[in-house]
Chains A and B, each alone.
Chain A
């Protein structure tokens, strides 16, 4: 029974298209995140939601729009995809935000923009 599941696992698309990645957690956690991992393996925070409320919005192009319909789901929609958006996107969740809270990650969604 997967704790944090994200779909799709692989996404190959053309520049200019719009795509979405979905994430669900069944851990009862209050906080969810989107991280981007580039080719150099750095994990960078993009967004964080706490009980459906946006609490972190790092310097991310506004082509990226997160949506949290409820605290168990956090989706990521990307408009007008660019080559530089190619990366692995990880969804994660934690019981609370900040501090000593530990993150549980999904398996990642590898986005390739051609």
Chain B
């Protein structure tokens, strides 16, 4: 069955550094991949969507890559700030089915 994996261990980085989060998938060929941010006690909030024919997408300090050969997406936050601390979820789907979410990776940015 299709599977989407994110590192369940928290990622701790220093303020100002680039945070890189990984999302791997198996037994699937998604056409779309999305990244969401979730803060404690809140619902996920959409950040970026990337299509299978796009290698990279940027939005301000955020960058997402999509490598269909490696079956992997990388999510980068440059010049990270303590306010970026949250859990980041990746999700994928095709034109005909629902989003499947990964378990999320918690990011802690220390001042």
Contacts and interface: CB of A to CB of B under 8 A. Distances in A.
B103 A90 contact: no
Interface in A82-108: 90, 92, 97-100, 102-108
A105 to B, nearest CB: 3
B94 A103 contact: no
Nearest to B93: A98
B96 A108 contact: no
A47 to B, nearest CB: 10
A107 B101 contact: no
B99 interface: yes
Contacts of A35: 101
Interface stretch (A13-21, A36-44, A62-70, A73-81): A36-44
A107 B44 contact: no
Q: List the 7 closest A-B pairs by CB distance, nearest first.
A: A105-B43, A43-B101, A99-B95, A102-B46, A42-B103, A41-B104, A45-B98
Interface of A: 4, 33, 35, 40-45, 48, 56, 90, 92, 97-100, 102-108
